[in-house]
Structure 1
Amino acid sequence: MGRESLSNDHVSSQAEKTPEGKPTGSQAPGLVAFEAEPVPLKGEFHLHESESTGSSGYTDGNPFSDPDVADYWRTIYEKAQYECREEFDPDATWTPDEEKRLVRKLDARVCLWACVMFFGLQVDRGNLKQAVSDNMLNDLNMNTNDYNLGNTLFLVAFLCAELPSQLVSKKLGPDRWIPMQISLWSLVAICQCAISGKGSFLATRVLLGALEGGFIPDIVLWLSYFYTSRELPIRLSYFWTTLSATTIITSLLAFALLHMRGVAGWAGWRWLFLIEGIITLLVGLASFFMMPASATQTKTKFRPNGWFTDRELKIAVNRVLRDDPSKGDMHNRQAITPRRLWKAAKDYDLWPLYAIGLMAYIPQTPVDQYITLILKQIGYSTFTVNLLTIPANVFHIITLLLISRLSEWLNERTLVSMIQNLWTLPCIFALRFWPQVMVDGWGTYAVVTVLLSYPYCHAIVVAWTSRNSSNVGMRTVSAALYNMMVQCGNVISNNIYQNDDKPLYHRGNRNLLIINFLSIGIFLLTKVYYVQRNKQRERVWDAMTAEQRSEYIRTSTDAGNKRLDFRFAH
């Protein structure tokens, strides 16, 4: 099932068990039980999967129960000037109910606002599809190739900004940088109401991409300050359901706004850009007040009581550190060094995940980008088109949450994630070879709707990349590199449907079929690669004596996923 087991010989402690053999550490409802992140200990120490790490305040899974270990990390936190170091308490204990109440508070104030900010991103990133349904291309004397070029330039700028944005965020703090990002790109989004032709259209696309790039890794970094590795994947699935929920909301909003064509002599799409840009600006300005830098920094002039009681604050800090002590080896205003960048880039063990990011999402994207144009071409009105996009987004939310739960239940990433491409394969086959496509309106709509209801594996792969990075510095950079590969895939996908291939897009759909098969192959090869890497390390580890293993754990300079006692998730 993809479980990464370690030899019991190097495990220092086991979680407390109930008489029935279950861990005493309970988990808040709705959490995905992914393996705990590897926990460094004087070189690096890795907990066996059976240990309770996410809720270890009341079990023997506390990595700081050894006084020498606690002193070691206390020194690290002081040296790094970790912002929460004053709350670090190796002896703190708490009950499962206390932690559940805290997590519910975090969900209401941290996760929920992250979703609101992602709503702001998707409003300005996704409303172009609705604008073109209102004859925007004709109004600006542009064609679908110009539309492709605009999307390509947006994605190239987005891609180029990913890593620089992550570096700025780590230096300034995501609580400062993210609100600045949202506010700046919303101003550009508003200016789209005044574009007059191809030049201004392309200019706004580039500016939007440059300002929005890096937003997602920045948000993931901020969330990691509050959530354990067990809790983060399902929060990310909620995060990406916001994408589909936003599309539903903006489709309904577009239905109203596009009816404003003629008001003040403006086309409906101009009103769409103006009003939705203002909505995003309000989200950006509010984010300056809604994003604390850390759990210990929620008290401000406008929030004098903060979010947490002293007791809750103690739990909030220590549960995250016990899940991954290295989360305190950098403070939240510390920049990433060039050495960390280079180390992450050359980590070939993460390249299979980057390959997945490059290829897996291409087969769905052209249909998603062109759904409004496709439905217009087969005879639906502007307003009907925007309403017809809603069912696919509703189903997309359901399948995203289901695939995330399935991955948790089976403790399997590769094969579960591959379901995404198995889902889209017959739909693309139908679009390519069905002779009635673009003639049978409702039939085409049904195929497109089923395709776009695909189970999105992005949340699983993001958490998977984090798990296999095994180090906070590496994790920060690998998130950006993975997302850059996703954007490279989006650049490819936005140039598959060409103007000379419409209305059937036979050449484009043939290419999508080929890429879909390649994506399935990459998932299978990734599974084989990680299984073999783990077996290779097991052979070396099993050949060592208990004394040699103990010596290795205490003295080895190997770090992160390069250690012999690290096992890759798959």
Structure 2
Amino acid sequence: MSTAASDSHSLKAKDVLDGTESHRGSTTTEGALTLSVSQEDMELERRAKLKLDLTLLPVMTMFYLLSFLDRANIGNARIAGLQEALKLSDRQYQICVTILYVPYICAELPANLLLRRIGPNILMPAILTMWGLVVTFQGFVSNYTGLLVVRFVLGMLEGPMFPGIVLYLSGFYTRRELSMRIAYFFSAASLSGAFSGLLAAAISRMEGLGGKDGWAWIFILEGLFTVSFGIASFWIVPRTLQQAMFLTQVEKDALKRRLERDRPLINTIDKFSFKEIFQSLRSPQVIILSIVFFMGGTVLFGQALFLPSIIRHLGFTPYKSQMLSVGPFVVGFIVSIGAAWYSDRYNRRGVPFIAISLLSITGWSIFLGLKGKYALYGALYLIVPGVYATSPVTCAWMANNSEPYYRRASSIAIGFIATNSGGILSTWRFPSKEGPKFTKTAIMMLVFSCLMVVFGSINMLYLDWQNKQKQRLRHKILAPYTTEKEPDGGVRAWAELGDRHPDFKYTL
């Protein structure tokens, strides 16, 4: 079995690289070679994958929950009194929120390229521990300058986490399974929004304890918890699949074989080259999805950072605003899981992405068209799921259609750079004076949601056209690489072409 998987590096992989390996059958086809997968092997793979889900995913979920919580809790601190206590104008507050994204964006691509060299078992726990300390110090700032410096450092440390997790998981799961696994950990963003509201409401009651304001305790307690988990995670994050202590060697070998069936060169092409970055930058599917990521990031971070403030402007008390921010995020979590399940089950990204985006369009239309605080609050139950649930699908879509490793690492990072660039825009779109409806911003968000559907559709049509073109021009594409011994171009063709190889079928 392992010999067959190794030999497959030089063979066609039409069905395998489509990510449509049968879960009911017992064989997978790679060109002329049929790889037999016995029922016993399939059961072994299923048990091993379940172990991954129960051990690796909870850790990654906690990483991202803490990342989102520690980045967005400034919104909860704001309505708990931070802005008044530090005597910040709306403009100064917005600058403090914005400044985080500048180093955040700059850190994403270099960190993704360094992830394998440093090791995720070192890089991820280290940055988690360090940013926990920074969040804790945030509770002791006493002026605008101090908050500005702390937010800048926090952005530099948090930037590598999200793209790093997506890249990391792509080395443990097949392309078809990735959307659901990203949904599991990204749903932590929805949960963190809900959890942040509940936690902030409780912690803000500590007003005056130890001479500290309630908003300061939000940062201190949440930061200390992050530090504790960061230190513990040095012992629980495996560097690679082969170093996962919770798997037996037989289980590791089984998972390695199924990854090789999904991506034949997963362990072959491992050398960094700037060429792969440029190949990613010029890929139309990466460019199209980066536009989607930018608009989605604008809508998403607008909700993450300002939802408590939006609810507060509707006329609710600060405490009730914290509590009312929980509901939309809980619905966002449920929709995220459901959409990702559908996406993986049917191996489709574009259809669920478009369907979810229609929720956002409906929500913003209601928000603009109706009056009354309860109607406007109700619209948030469509707006929040309508953007949060698209993220796992689009992340998997980007990761699915870029190969080999360093091109995939670059594409994922480029997508998140676009997302967080949208985050910068969102920080300037909710000035207090435009509440409670923030009409100009709501119109922009509605337009962005509509454009996301348009560009998502364009990406589907382009990828479908590319798949047909690659099959039609297969011999012409492979001609520069073919030899008498390797009529299909072998490893050299895969190394040079990557996802442009005619036997690599793009996921729609």
Relative to the length of structure 1, the TM-score reads: 0.79
Corresponding position of 2:246: 307
Corresponding position of 1:441: 373
Distance across 1 between alignment mates of 2:156 and 2:192: 22
Q: Is the 8 A contact 1:469 1:560 kept in 2?
A: yes
Deviation for aligned residue 1:499: 4.6
Q: How do 1:466-477 residues align onto structure 2 when only pairs under 5 Å count?
A: 466-477=399-410
Q: How do 1:421-440 residues align onto structure 2 when only pairs under 5 Å count?
A: 421-434=357-370, 436=371, 440=372
Are 1:562 and 2:507 counterparts?
no
Deviation for aligned residue 1:117: 1.6
Corresponding position of 1:464: 397
Q: Is the 8 A contact 1:57 1:92 kept in 2?
A: no
- Runs of 4 or more off by more than 6 Å in structure 1? 50-53, 55-58, 64-67, 90-93, 542-545, 548-551
Q: Is the 8 A contact 1:57 1:94 kept in 2?
A: no
Q: Deviations over 1:357-390 (max 9, x none)?
A: 1223433442442221122233322221111111
Distance across 2 between alignment mates of 1:297 and 1:544: 38
Q: Is the 8 A contact 1:372 1:385 kept in 2?
A: yes
Give the secondary-structure state (helix, strand or coil) at the position aligned to 1:464.
helix
Distance across 2 between alignment mates of 1:255 and 1:222: 34
Q: Return closer, same or farther for 1:173/1:48 CA change in 2, 3 Å cut-off.
A: same
Q: Is the 8 A contact 2:350 2:460 kept in 1?
A: yes
Corresponding position of 1:384: 320
Are 1:319 and 2:255 counterparts?
no
Q: Is the 8 A contact 1:260 1:271 kept in 2?
A: yes
Are 1:172 and 2:87 counterparts?
no
Corresponding position of 1:553: 488
Q: Deviations over 1:417-452 (max 9, x none)?
A: 022331112322233343x3xxx3322221223322
Distance across 2 between alignment mates of 1:319 and 1:161: 32
Name the aligned partner's letter for residue 146 of structure 1.
Answer: Q
Corresponding position of 1:47: 14
Relative to the length of structure 2, the TM-score reads: 0.88
Q: Is the 8 A contact 2:179 2:344 kept in 1?
A: no
Are 1:408 and 2:344 counterparts?
yes
Deviation for aligned residue 1:269: 0.7
Name the aligned partner's letter for residue 453 of structure 1.
Answer: P
Corresponding position of 1:532: 465
Q: How do 1:484-499 residues align onto structure 2 when only pairs under 5 Å count?
A: 484-499=417-432
Corresponding position of 2:210: 264
Distance across 2 between alignment mates of 1:491 and 1:60: 49
Q: Is the 8 A contact 2:12 2:30 kept in 1?
A: no
Q: Is the 8 A contact 2:166 2:395 kept in 1?
A: no
Distance across 1 between alignment mates of 2:477 and 2:89: 66
Q: How do 1:164-203 residues align onto structure 2 when only pairs under 5 Å count?
A: 164-203=110-149
Name the aligned partner's letter for residue 339 of structure 1.
Answer: K
* Among candidates 264, 281, 292, match of residue 345 of structure 1: 281
Deviation for aligned residue 1:153: 1.3
Distance across 1 between alignment mates of 2:49 and 2:462: 36
Q: Is the 8 A contact 2:17 2:262 kept in 1?
A: no
Corresponding position of 1:291: 237
Deviation for aligned residue 1:264: 1.9
* Among candidates 361, 382, 392, match of residue 450 of structure 1: 382
Q: Is the 8 A contact 2:191 2:330 kept in 1?
A: yes
Deviation for aligned residue 1:57: 13
Deviation for aligned residue 1:174: 0.9
Deviation for aligned residue 1:482: 1.2
245-254 or 210-219: bigger deviation:
245-254
Are 1:354 and 2:290 counterparts?
yes
Q: Return closer, same or farther for 1:544/1:256 CA change in 2, 3 Å cut-off.
A: closer
Deviation for aligned residue 1:475: 1.1
Deviation for aligned residue 1:60: 3.9
Corresponding position of 1:135: 81
Distance across 2 between alignment mates of 1:51 and 1:188: 44
Name the aligned partner's letter for residue 450 of structure 2.
Answer: F
Unmatched tracts of structure 2, length 5 or more: 1-6
Q: Return closer, same or farther for 1:505/1:474 CA change in 2, 3 Å cut-off.
A: same
Are 1:397 and 2:333 counterparts?
yes
Deviation for aligned residue 1:204: 1.3
Q: Deviations over 1:55-87 (max 9, x none)?
A: 8999442759969xx9xxxxxxxxxxxxxxxxx
Return the structure number with greater helix share: 2
Give the secondary-structure state (helix, strand or coil) at the position aligned to 1:519.
helix
Corresponding position of 1:275: 221
Distance across 2 between alignment mates of 1:50 and 1:513: 36
Name the aligned partner's letter for residue 405 of structure 2.
Answer: V
Distance across 2 between alignment mates of 1:339 and 1:208: 31
Corresponding position of 1:245: 191
Q: How do 1:3-42 residues align onto structure 2 when only pairs under 5 Å count?
A: 41-42=9-10
Corresponding position of 2:453: 520
Corresponding position of 2:168: 222
388-397 or 485-494: bigger deviation:
485-494
Corresponding position of 2:440: 507
Corresponding position of 2:109: 163
Q: Is the 8 A contact 2:18 2:507 kept in 1?
A: no
Q: Is the 8 A contact 1:187 1:277 kept in 2?
A: yes
Q: Is the 8 A contact 2:13 2:31 kept in 1?
A: no
Give the aligned CA root-mean-square deviation in angstroms: 3.3
Q: Return closer, same or farther for 1:473/1:165 CA change in 2, 3 Å cut-off.
A: closer
Q: Is the 8 A contact 1:428 1:509 kept in 2?
A: yes
Deviation for aligned residue 1:172: 0.5
Distance across 1 between alignment mates of 2:504 and 2:261: 18
Q: Return closer, same or farther for 1:388/1:363 CA change in 2, 3 Å cut-off.
A: same
Distance across 2 between alignment mates of 1:150 and 1:482: 24
Q: Is the 8 A contact 1:159 1:487 kept in 2?
A: yes
Q: Is the 8 A contact 1:352 1:526 kept in 2?
A: yes
Give the secondary-structure state (helix, strand or coil) at the position aligned to 2:218.
helix
Corresponding position of 1:204: 150
Q: How do 1:86-125 residues align onto structure 2 when only pairs under 5 Å count?
A: 94-125=40-71
Give the secondary-structure state (helix, strand or coil) at the position aligned to 1:61.
strand
Distance across 2 between alignment mates of 1:283 and 1:55: 39
Give the secondary-structure state (helix, strand or coil) at the position aligned to 2:246.
coil
